[in-house]
């Protein structure tokens, strides 16, 4: 995402599998074409991506895609609790600063941890 908010695809590949070798090659290719530094990298948590990123762009921050985190949580909770859990979890990311987000996250954990320790 550029400073003006414009989003730009800088690379893509079609690979027979998702593994550290594929991700390392993709990231190294971008680096060799001039991408000097990555500030934030969002991913769906695929195998090897975080390791490949740390090897290629060690200063980059890694964040798991929020949609994928939410899908994983939904898969591990009872259907009747999903709406309430998702509404409360979304509140973490809607706070105006990090400290407020952390406070809401701890409240979320306190409320749901006993029933859904594995989530």
pTM given for the model? 0.69
User: Is residue 2 assigned to a domain?
Assistant: no
- What is the domain count for the chain? 2
The SS3 call for residue 31 is: helix
- Whether residues 104 and 80 fall in one domain: yes
pLDDT value of position 46 = 81
pLDDT value of position 101 = 94
pLDDT value of position 88 = 95
User: Is residue 10 assigned to a domain?
Assistant: no
- Whether residues 100 and 74 fall in one domain: yes
pLDDT value of position 58 = 95
User: Is residue 8 assigned to a domain?
Assistant: no
- Whether residues 43 and 58 fall in one domain: yes
Tokens 């991506």 identify what position? Answer: 49
Please report the sign of the dihedral spanned by the C-alpha atoms of residue 81, residue 74, residue 110, residue 107: negative
The domain of 89 spans: 66-112
Residues 69-108 pLDDT 10s: 999 999 999 999 999 999 999 999 899 999 999 999 999 9
């Amino acid at each position: 995402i550029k400073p003006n908010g414009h989003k730009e695809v800088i690379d893509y590949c079609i690979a027979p599998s998702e593994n550290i070798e594929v991700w390392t090659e993709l990231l190294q290719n971008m680096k060799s074409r001039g991408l000097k530094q990555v500030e934030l990298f969002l991913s769906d948590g695929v195998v090897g991506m975080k390791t490949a990123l740390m090897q290629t762009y060690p200063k980059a921050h890694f964040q798991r895609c929020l949609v994928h985190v939410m899908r994983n949580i939904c898969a591990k909770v009872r259907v009747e609790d999903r709406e309430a859990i998702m509404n409360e979890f979304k509140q973490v990311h809607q706070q105006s600063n990090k400290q407020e987000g952390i406070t809401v996250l701890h409240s979320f954990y306190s409320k749901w941890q006993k029933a859904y320790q594995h989530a």
